[in-house]
């Protein structure tokens, strides 16, 4: 179904997360990791973003909160590699 992640995709994302955590020196457990500090969790997420690179870019239009006539374009870059 559209928008659903396959089991293969979930496993790949989990491996990517574990590799990123290992690179920044954070030990992740399988399953629950709610005992991580914000700094540790942010380090993992930041490493994942750094590894993704600007090769793939998506643009999102967003209406400004104060006025519906103004829009902002957000460009998000990611690189997915195998």
Instruction: Tell me the C-alpha distance between 26 and 18, whole Å.
Output: 9
Low-confidence residues of the chain: pLDDT under 50: 64, 82
pLDDT at 21: 95
pLDDT at 39: 94
pLDDT at 52: 78
pLDDT at 44: 94
pLDDT at 42: 94
CA dihedral 33, 46, 37, 18 (to 10 degrees): 30
């Amino acid at each position: 179904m559209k928008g659903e992640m396959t089991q293969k995709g979930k496993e790949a994302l989990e491996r990517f997360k574990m590799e990123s955590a290992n690179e920044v020196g954070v030990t992740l457990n399988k399953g629950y990791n709610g005992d991580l500090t914000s700094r540790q969790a942010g380090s993992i997420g930041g490493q994942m973003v750094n590894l993704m690179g600007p090769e793939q870019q998506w643009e999102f239009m967003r209406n400004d909160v104060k006025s519906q006539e103004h829009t902002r374009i957000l460009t998000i870059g990611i690189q997915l590699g195998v």
